[in-house]
Structure 1
Amino acid sequence: MTSMSAWIWSESFWLPPNVTWADLEHPPPGEDFPRAGHILTALPLAIGVLAVRVIFERLVAKPCAHILQIQAGASRRAQPNALLERVFTSTTSPDSRRVEGLSKQLDWDTRKVQRWFRLRRNQDKPATLTKFCESMWRLTFYLGIFIYAIRYLWVSPWMWDTRQCWYNYPFQTLSPGQYNYYMAELAFYWSLMLSQFTDIKRKDFLIMLIHHLATITLITFSYANNMLRAGTLVMCVHDASDILLEAAKLANYAKYQRLCDGLFVLFSIIFFITRLVIYPFWVVYSVFVESWVIIGPYQSWWLLNGLLLVLQVLHVFWFYLIARIAIKALFKGKVSKDDRSDIESSSEEETDTSSRNKSHLSPSTEPSNGHVPTGGGTHEH
């Protein structure tokens, strides 16, 4: 176990040449350096965040939803059927050949089999009220943490001169603002990961699980090797656009379509400015170029810069998806739905099935809605 820990926390990998972990254990009197043990504080904080979320959703979000006339709604349940339930565990949308086979086995019409699978899929999808409460909680957190970050960073010298991120690195003392910001972000992402196992599972469960793990890993390592100044800039840049995305989703759930479209277009603009302008030409430039000049590259330096560049590639891809939806909102007047969890429309599927039958085309999988990049596209740090 000791050799494994030594390998994971290898000084030659994580720290610049001629710097050891022991050097960071003795900060100047009255000051402190980040310690790996501090990270454990985020775990009980994450439980506290989950508790606050439950209280917030019940006492704040749900009353707001009722004011906006957003009801929980009870989706129709599929009648119990052991055979279809076994098939559903392997495929939630069977193809036409499988449907025809099940139709013969059960002596049901194919439309009835298709309807059963549609109802069964909808049983596992959250109601609009649930999604509204989740989005309102995330909006509240993002707005609060962003305001805190701006107030803290506004008086920090490295926000205005990013070279300050690297002077005297890694012997940079830990400020209360940095500690609070990091622990809040880390606890929040731990809470998101833990809540995935208790919330209703969605299509992107695995993607979001990997995303949360990667985010937690990056925050943890940047804290452990005292790259906090650059880390706070990265997190702040990413939180800025998330506020507008959650606000747009709230407007969509409340059926204020024009407000939703306007917020989404504004989100697209802020996303472009923060992720495709500020992030690469300000933050990544500092981590890649200025740190090279001031402290020089070392092993983990290559890893961290590689991850930041991969993230930039994802930003370009996400913006492409976002721009398509924003353009549709501008010219067609409606933002496409988020296909992670929207309840399927019975009339739409039946109409679509009918039109395919009239065209002598075999039924296939249901047409998917335009996808709004949600959680997985806007939280990476």
Structure 2
Amino acid sequence: MAQPQTTIETVRQRTPLLEKSADTDTVNYQKPPVAKNKGSTAKQNGSSINNSRKKGHSNTVVEATLAPSQYQTEISGALILLTYALHQQEQFRPYTSKLLTVQYAKNGYAQIGAEDAYFVLFAVVWLTFARSILVDYILRYVAIKARLRTKKAIARFVEQSWSIIYYSTSFSAGMYLFKQSEYWMSATNLWKGWPHYEIPVLTKAYYLIQLACWFQQIYVLHVEERRKDHYQMFTHHIITCALIIGSYYYYYTRVGHVILILMDVVDIQLSLAKVFNYFEWRTICDTTFGIFMLSWMVCRHGIYNYLVYTAMTSAIDLIPTKCYSDEVTGEHIRCFTPAVHWTLVTLLCILQVITLIWFGMILRVAINVIKGSAAEDTRSDDEDSDNEKDD
């Protein structure tokens, strides 16, 4: 249910970062005044910046782009420190443990309950802290050292680098848990034995952290620079959260787990292709983009639709329409009802429609590349689009 944050901004188009003269890299990121003689203007501005560097002002642009936004690091870091400090006090431990540990766990397995919301909330705080540290203090520094000098280019680079780090981690964890599961490479076992109300503790933690990631992305979507596809992304994030929550509550975590893996592997390749493009590594960028397109088709339109098909057929055959209770305690678990089942299937189909629309945009980018035209992002802001216009 993960999705690419944007289609590839530019596949073969040169990034303006290394081509532009220093006149577009002012501290406030505004263009210099227009002069009749553009050549002399660029020369004068270039020499002016060179003089500034000689005077010790070469890091003004760097300092401007390194400023943390929204105090995310300070606030999230303070909340984390406070939580762990309170957890050291015995009187607060019954409360803080809900934030720090998986609830309803016993003998390596866990059930679900309302108190899982605390774990998700704290995971959102942790993800916000980790992202802000990497973005504001590490990845921006890497971008500047790599000579990505404009504000938007640095912002795009750090966004995609964070995506690579997170999705690589979540994909690796998801695949490890999938390999250890009872439903490894078995579509039948995704549904057989429902409801799967006892989930391995690590699988439950993985699922809740994935949910936290999507909540955190909704937050990021609203606090950072708005893109042209803002409402598309917001709609996608809401549907994804609804699917994760619905599948979790209704014990469809097995099929949800597999879908999360399918989405993560594609997002890694998309973000890698973007980063390679920022560095102007043409061959590896094009190769990665080709692999990305192939994996998108296979994972998001092939395997994904097969899973939806099994939900429409196998699930109905394997799960009798009745209410289920724990065989030992007699506690009521869930009732399998067609209304709830088909609601979740409908959400999966809506998500597929969104990914089909995005795939159409990706195909247009690929066609432009084949024709030798400049490939442009049809979903999101182009890198430094304002700075690319002539003065």
When the two structures are superposed, what TM-score results if normalisation uses the length of structure 1? Answer: 0.65
Q: Which amino acid aligns with 1:55?
A: I
1:193, distance to aligned residue in structure 2 (A): 1.0
Match status 1:147 vs 2:172? yes
Distance (Å, rounded) in 2 between the aligned partners of 1:347 and 1:145:
36
Match status 1:65 vs 2:143? yes
Aligned to 2:354: 314
Does the 8 Å contact 1:33/1:226 carry over to 2? no
Aligned to 2:4: none
Larger RCO (alpha carbons 8 Å, 6+ apart): 2
Does the 8 Å contact 2:312/2:345 carry over to 1? yes
Taking only the aligned residue pairs, the percentage that are identical comes to: 23
Distance (Å, rounded) in 2 between the aligned partners of 1:197 and 1:306:
27
Aligned to 2:271: 246
User: Aligned pair in 2 of structure 1 residues 261, 28: CA closer, same or farther (>3 Å)?
Assistant: closer
Q: Which runs of 5+ in 2 are unaligned?
A: 1-102, 321-336
Aligned to 1:290: 314
Distance (Å, rounded) in 2 between the aligned partners of 1:27 and 1:292:
30
Match status 1:193 vs 2:230? no
CA deviations over 1:66-105 (Å, ceiling 9, x no partner):
33211245xxxxxxxxxxxxxxxxxxxxxxxxxxxxxxxx
Match status 1:230 vs 2:270? no
Distance (Å, rounded) in 2 between the aligned partners of 1:176 and 1:347:
51
User: Aligned pair in 2 of structure 1 residues 64, 292: CA closer, same or farther (>3 Å)?
Assistant: same
1:263, distance to aligned residue in structure 2 (A): 1.6
Q: Which amino acid aligns with 2:343?
A: L
Distance (Å, rounded) in 1 between the aligned partners of 2:212 and 2:223:
17
Q: Which amino acid aligns with 1:39?
A: A
1:181, distance to aligned residue in structure 2 (A): 1.5
- For 1:137-286, list aligned pairs within 5 A: 137-281=162-306, 283-286=307-310
1:228, distance to aligned residue in structure 2 (A): 0.6
Distance (Å, rounded) in 2 between the aligned partners of 1:192 and 1:27:
28
Match status 1:132 vs 2:157? yes
Distance (Å, rounded) in 1 between the aligned partners of 2:311 and 2:304:
11
Aligned to 1:344: 385
CA deviations over 1:292-319 (Å, ceiling 9, x no partner):
1011462101111112222223333322
Q: Which runs of 5+ in 1 are unaligned?
A: 1-24, 74-126, 351-381
Distance (Å, rounded) in 2 between the aligned partners of 1:29 and 1:263:
43
User: Aligned pair in 2 of structure 1 residues 286, 344: CA closer, same or farther (>3 Å)?
Assistant: same
User: Aligned pair in 2 of structure 1 residues 148, 334: CA closer, same or farther (>3 Å)?
Assistant: farther
Does the 8 Å contact 1:43/1:190 carry over to 2? no
Distance (Å, rounded) in 1 between the aligned partners of 2:378 and 2:360:
16
Does the 8 Å contact 2:104/2:112 carry over to 1? no
Aligned to 2:344: 304
User: Aligned pair in 2 of structure 1 residues 310, 335: CA closer, same or farther (>3 Å)?
Assistant: same
1:345, distance to aligned residue in structure 2 (A): 5.0
Q: Which amino acid aligns with 2:225?
A: I
1:167, distance to aligned residue in structure 2 (A): 2.3
When the two structures are superposed, what TM-score results if normalisation uses the length of structure 2? Answer: 0.64
Q: Which amino acid aligns with 1:129?
A: I
SS of the aligned residue for 1:71 comes to coil
Does the 8 Å contact 1:241/1:270 carry over to 2? yes
SS of the aligned residue for 1:160 comes to coil
The structure in which a higher percent of residues are helix is 1
Distance (Å, rounded) in 1 between the aligned partners of 2:187 and 2:117:
25
Distance (Å, rounded) in 2 between the aligned partners of 1:142 and 1:31:
25
Does the 8 Å contact 1:149/1:181 carry over to 2? yes
Cα RMSD, aligned residues only? 2.5
1:149, distance to aligned residue in structure 2 (A): 0.7
Moved more, 130-139 or 208-217: 208-217
1:175, distance to aligned residue in structure 2 (A): 0.6
Does the 8 Å contact 2:110/2:204 carry over to 1? no
How many equivalent residue pairs?
272
